[in-house]
Amino acid sequence: MAKTKKTASDRSNLDRRNFLRGAAAGAAALVAPVPGAKAQQPSAAQASQTQAQNGGRGGRGGVAPNLAREDGNARPGPVTRVVENPGSDHMVDVIKAMGIEYVAFNPGSSFEGLHESLINYGKNKMPEIITCCHEESAVAMAHGYGKIENKPMLALLHGTIGIQHAAMAIYNAYGDRAPILMMTGAADSAVPAHDAVDMAAMCRDFVKWDHQPDNITQFADTVMRAYRLAITPPMAPVLLVIKAPLQQEPMPNGLRVPKLVLPQMPSADLAMVREIARGLVNAQHPHINAGQMVRSQEGIELLVKLAELTGASVNGVGERINFPSRHPLAGNGDTSVPVDFTLNLQPSTNGRGLLPPVSDGPPKSYTISSAEFLATHNYNVNRNYPAGDVVIEADAQASLPAIIEEVQKMLTADKKNLIADRTKKHTAANLATRAAAIERLNLGWDASPVSQARMAAELWPLIEHEDWSLASPQGFFGNLPNTIWDMKKTYHYIGGQGAGGMGYGAPAAVGAALANRKYGRLTVNFQTDGDMNYAPGVLWTAVHHKIPLLSIMLNNRGYHQEVMFVEQQCSIRNRGADMAHIGTKLIEPNINYATMAKAYGMDSRGPIEDPKEIAAAFKWGVERVKAGEPVMIDVVTQPRA
């Protein structure tokens, strides 16, 4: 175990330390009484003027010092002491021991001690600071990063206001079962309104665990436990509340950094495994639904092996990639034979894609899910529990090896022949379904505004031979990449928001691109316009930190899903849809996202309305991203695919 102490690497900080000593001595000299001088009390007007000149930081109480910090007029007070080994240095050692690569935040006074240690003691390496313009972006970036790397990124939040800003992004990550390690500062004396008796109460119903260590000695074990909980299925964000004194006070002697011990994933018991294997082998049409099952590429390979052994049709691209999109068994298969056995693997929290439980006769629907290990008081509990005749509380990916082993034991020659026959039928049915879907996408190929199907089709030949990653949701893009592209890696598609909250897309794509950068992957983001306007400042973050990302705007100039619902209400009420654009369209003026990107320092093209121009623009964008730059291409599109 490592021990926190000052090492030779800290010598570069001596100049800073000595400067602070000098500053402290100078400040003391300034406030010391001059011998023989007569003390004079300032007038009220003089006191007010002095307080204004000093940013309003007069006494502890009163309106002025609080407002000064809130309105940005505050200045640091005089240095009265030097703390050479603050507790926040120990925090950095612990964070480094967990292998955390990045920490995203919008700066705040409640964690300024940790901020300084990350810069000077930690040298801004492992973790490297990612500067964000909003806390929601910081957490959404960590969300996207976590789905690529399958491990947490650190996000720092500034007290009550930071948590409230980040709340929607936290809720999205909770719904998406994404691991994020979050810390928030507490006991911030600068602005009492930024503190709370129970800071984590604001998001406790949509984090997996929260804790507030009492002292710096408890910090290491607390963070290690938080990390383990975040990555243990069901994965979810965790939050630690770190009081300012723990960061600011000198650390005691003997602090140690414990070793991070990662958990083993729980698998289904052998009796249930055998029942599932028997059902898959003996069924006429076994079907597998996979929602949030896959944690790594091994999970995809295991599911492919199970499907091929049993001839089961598989719905495996939804919340994320669980199964290759062009695999012969991907889809509903031969529907002339009804499904008579269903295996649900970590279905999504909204329960979509599940067959209803069969109440009579032997069990025909089995669900393996870890969702019941994450029960909260308020959210994600209304009709979202795992459904099935039998629900097994375990990790789905960890359970597959045992199921495969049992299936192999049960495969007789006759069974293998039956499975080969249904595999051929499923393959033919799935190929026909895909061909029909592709044919429909040709409609409106030359239309202006541009067809979204044409956008997906024009980009595919430019990236298919690259190591690519789609970091944006497909739901608002007609699931076109899943239809047209060949998706077979976990990072080829990382899924949607989790809880449906807007403001996720742009920052999550930047976070995913940050994770993909070291692998040399080309990250693609089909960015909806409504979502972009929630957090445009993340474009600056991408440029500042040189995060290569191809963002293509789906600029349909409106919140089109809401347009459809309002138009439906107009129709139901027989009032006409002439006014349905009010409150739903982003027009008058139209927003120029290429100009927006340029304002943040990002190179861009558009707005493009002629479909003949998009191929050249996409080629330009791919080349620039491969060279290591973020770019945006603004395309004015049809409302939906």
CATH of the domain at 297: 3.40.50.1220
Q: What is the pLDDT of residues 491-500, one digit of tens each?
A: 999 988 888 7
CB 148 within 8 A of CB 512: yes
CA atoms of 316 and 321, how far apart (whole Å): 6
- Which range of residues forms the domain containing residue 176? 87-257
Residue 3: phi and psi, rounded to 5, are: -120, 130
- State the amino acid at position 82 in one-letter form: V
Place of tokens 């007010």: 48
Do 373 and 400 belong together in one domain?
yes
122, burial (CB in 10 Å: exposed 0-12, middle 13-18, buried 19+): buried
Do 380 and 424 belong together in one domain?
yes
Which residue, among 470, 455, 465, has the nearest Cα to 641 in the 3D structure? Answer: 455
Look at residue 55 and tell me if it is in a domain.
Answer: no
CA atoms of 413 and 432, how far apart (whole Å): 29
Domain boundary among 220, 236, 257: 257
Please give the residue that has the higher pLDDT: either 52 or 69.
69
Q: pTM for this one?
A: 0.85
CB 238 within 8 A of CB 229: yes
Do 156 and 302 belong together in one domain?
no
Do 95 and 153 belong together in one domain?
yes
**DSSP per residue, 15-44:** HHHHHHHHHHHHHHHHHSPPTTPPP-PPPH
CB 221 within 8 A of CB 70: no
Angle at 296 between CA 290 and CA 298, to 5 degrees: 85
Cα end-to-end distance, the chain, whole Å: 56
Residue 123 has pLDDT above 70, yes or no: yes
In this prediction, residue 190 carries a pLDDT of 64
**DSSP per residue, 150-208:** SS--EEEE-HHHHHHHHHHHHHHHHHTT--EEEEEEE--SS-GGG--SSGGGGTGGGSS
Domain boundary among 236, 257, 278: 257
Q: What is the pLDDT of residues 217-241, one digit of tens each?
A: 999 999 999 999 999 998 999 999 9
Residue 30 has pLDDT above 60, yes or no: no
CATH number of the domain enclosing 211 = 3.40.50.970
Q: Say how many residues make up the chain.
A: 641
Residue range 280-288: average pLDDT?
95
State the sign of the Cα–Cα–Cα–Cα dihedral 475, 559, 513, 118.
Answer: negative
Do 251 and 293 belong together in one domain?
no
Do 593 and 452 belong together in one domain?
yes
Q: What is the pLDDT of residues 427-448, one digit of tens each?
A: 999 999 999 989 888 888 999 9
Please count the helices (runs of H) and the strands (runs of E) in the chain. 21, 18
Residue 88: phi and psi, rounded to 5, are: -65, -25
In this prediction, residue 455 carries a pLDDT of 95
Do 247 and 135 belong together in one domain?
yes
In this prediction, residue 189 carries a pLDDT of 62
**How many structural domains are present in the chain?**
3
In this prediction, residue 220 carries a pLDDT of 95
Domain boundary among 257, 286, 302: 257
Angle at 146 between CA 145 and CA 148, to 5 degrees: 70
Residue 376 has pLDDT above 80, yes or no: no
Do 179 and 247 belong together in one domain?
yes
Mean pLDDT of the residues in the chain:
85
In this prediction, residue 467 carries a pLDDT of 98
Helix (H, G, I), strand (E, B) or coil at 391: strand
CA atoms of 641 and 367, how far apart (whole Å): 33
Look at residue 25 and tell me if it is in a domain.
Answer: no
In this prediction, residue 343 carries a pLDDT of 95
CA atoms of 306 and 438, how far apart (whole Å): 28
Q: What is the pLDDT of residues 72-82, one digit of tens each?
A: 666 666 666 68
CA atoms of 352 and 346, how far apart (whole Å): 11
CA atoms of 382 and 619, how far apart (whole Å): 46
List the single range of 4-13, 138-147, 497-506, 522-531 with lowest mean pLDDT: 4-13
Do 416 and 480 belong together in one domain?
no
Give the Cβ contact number of residue 432 at 10 Å.
11
CA atoms of 232 and 236, how far apart (whole Å): 8
Which residue, among 614, 471, 618, has the nearest Cα to 140 in the 3D structure? Answer: 471
CA atoms of 177 and 429, how far apart (whole Å): 33
Do 525 and 568 belong together in one domain?
yes
In this prediction, residue 7 carries a pLDDT of 46
Residue 136: phi and psi, rounded to 5, are: -60, -40
Do 624 and 526 belong together in one domain?
yes
Which residue, among 93, 263, 290, 91, has the nearest Cα to 179 in the 3D structure? Answer: 263
In this prediction, residue 377 carries a pLDDT of 65
Which residue, among 378, 383, 380, 381, has the nearest Cα to 205 in the 3D structure? Answer: 378
